[in-house]
Structure 1
Amino acid sequence: MLIAVMSLMCAEMEELAKYGTLLPPNMMGLTDDQVHDLKLVDEWGETCLPSGGWTFNRDPMGRRNGRQPNEKMRDVIAKTVAEAKSIVSKKQVQAEVSLTQRMVQSALDILQGAVMIVYPMGLPPHETIRQELDNTEDLSGTQASLEVSHSP
């Protein structure tokens, strides 16, 4: 179960680095015209900004706000994700290192540290990464819920 959570966290962190924070659920998947017509605003996107600024990189899936952190902050995320993945890697098993809950917690801690560096104002409450770090994510009805519930 913990490995599935780590996998989800790393994937979401990679998306965060590419496309910024998640849009509020009522804005996900809408076109710019639809957002305008419905007078919707991503209020969290205005306050949860990456340190050092951002550039716009549209999320082709329409899940994230497109406010990609600057290159330096993307590198912080990328290096941290790589480090977290190495902690829970299958190579550890091949090296006869048993994966412990402490190791997984260490990986989660470094991911949280990277989030705090890149997003010092925090992440929106609807952001998957924040929910996972706060242990409040509701995975029901998602593919991730199947992976977590069926993991050994």
Structure 2
Amino acid sequence: MVLLHVKKGDDDLFLFECSVSIPITSLTIEIAKIHNGRQKIFRMCSEMDYLADHGVSLPTNMVGLLPDQIQELKLTDPGATMHTPSGGSISNPDPHLKRNGHAPDEEMAKLLRTTCEAAKQSIHKNLIQQGTVLSYDHISEQFLKLRDALMAVYPMGLPLYDPLHVESTSMEAADLDCGYGSFRDVIDPQNAVLWWAGKELKGQDEKLLRNFIGSNEKTKIVIKLTQKGSGAPGREACYTDEQRKAMMAQAFRRQQEVEKLMEDDDDHYLNSQWADSRALKRSFQGINNIKFRPV
């Protein structure tokens, strides 16, 4: 199986494993779906942490208003009574004035945070260093776990205007918009493009992956994900960050040594035995190792 190191720009994303016989069109769609799924999981975890701290979202006509302004305008929040967390709630006002401040109790909040942390760690880019591959089925499994945690804390569901309600309705992320500008990194699978070695992997004429990289299944390559019309991504650097830091440290040590040698212009080395111009003459005369003992 070929191991694909998927990147977007200079950012590492995940590892993907496939055969060289996979069509380029199918490969592009699969990688784009995994990328969009990772973005969805991270968005959901971010909102769930916010939910655990400050409760469900306020209606759109109450977002950003102070309590006095809400009372003056006689606005009501139906989510405060219809969508309450199981186990009761605690008061924790939202400083950003986006949520109603009725947060779940400590046990339910811990359930949300624990589930989010486990989901983020299971799709984190650090898995690349461990050699762990990612699949769309694994992303879907994490999505279901997050949705189950939401249902456990909020059995009555979430308000329609809550971003998490929008996110938890479907695994497909490209056509959803919760109004928080979180979809800039989502790539439409039909408009996704893969690049390898500065060359676009075009799926025309039903081309397979082996038409570009050969038939060797034991191959690891770096694939870059872009959108159509965005142009070719930058090429990979010749050296990694660790190699570059090691080279810079070595050059700095060498420069320090040269500076010390330039400053050290003494002639104390003339006292050394190897610098004695009469050493050869004394060795022939047999007086090379004469020692004098005080009387």
The within-5 A match list for 1:111-150 is: 111-135=146-170, 137-139=176-178, 142-149=180-187
Structure 2 alignment gaps of length 5 or more = 1-35, 193-224, 226-295
Structure 2 counterpart of 1:29: 64
1:65 equivalent in alignment to 2:100: yes
Name the CA distance, whole Å, in 1 between partners of 2:137 and 2:73: 46
RMSD: 1.8
Deviation at 1:147, TM superposition (A): 2.4
**Which has the bigger relative contact order, CA under 8 A and spacing at least 6?**
1
Name which of structure 1's ranges 11-20 and 75-84 shifts more when overlaid on structure 2: 75-84
The within-5 A match list for 1:3-152 is: 3-135=38-170, 137-139=176-178, 142-149=180-187, 152=225
Name the CA distance, whole Å, in 1 between partners of 2:72 and 2:125: 49
Question: Looking at CA atoms only, which structure, 1 or 2, has the larger radius of gyration?
Answer: 2
Q: Judging changes above 3 Å, is the alpha-carbon distance between structure 1 residues 60 and 149 closer, same or farther for their aligned structure 2 residues?
A: farther
Name the CA distance, whole Å, in 2 between partners of 1:12 and 1:137: 15
Secondary structure at the residue paired with 1:55?
A: strand
Is the CA contact (8 Å cut-off) linking 1:6 and 1:108 kept in structure 2? yes
What TM-score do you get using the length of structure 2 for normalisation?
0.49
Secondary structure at the residue paired with 1:116?
A: helix
AA in 1 matched with 2:134 = L
Is the CA contact (8 Å cut-off) linking 2:167 and 2:178 kept in structure 1? no
In the TM superposition, structure 1's runs of 4+ consecutive aligned residues that sit over 3 Å from their partners are 149-152
AA in 1 matched with 2:159 = P
Deviation at 1:137, TM superposition (A): 3.7
AA in 2 matched with 1:138 = D
Secondary structure at the residue paired with 1:58?
A: coil
Name the CA distance, whole Å, in 2 between partners of 1:83 and 1:112: 14
Report which of the two has the higher share of strand: 2
1:22-70: CA deviation from partner (whole Å, max 9, x where unpaired)? 0011100101111111111011221100000011101000000000100
Name the CA distance, whole Å, in 2 between partners of 1:60 and 1:28: 11
What TM-score do you get using the length of structure 1 for normalisation?
0.92
Deviation at 1:139, TM superposition (A): 4.5
Name which of structure 1's ranges 84-93 and 121-130 shifts more when overlaid on structure 2: 84-93
Report which of the two has the higher share of helix: 1
Is the CA contact (8 Å cut-off) linking 1:128 and 1:137 kept in structure 2? no
Deviation at 1:149, TM superposition (A): 4.0
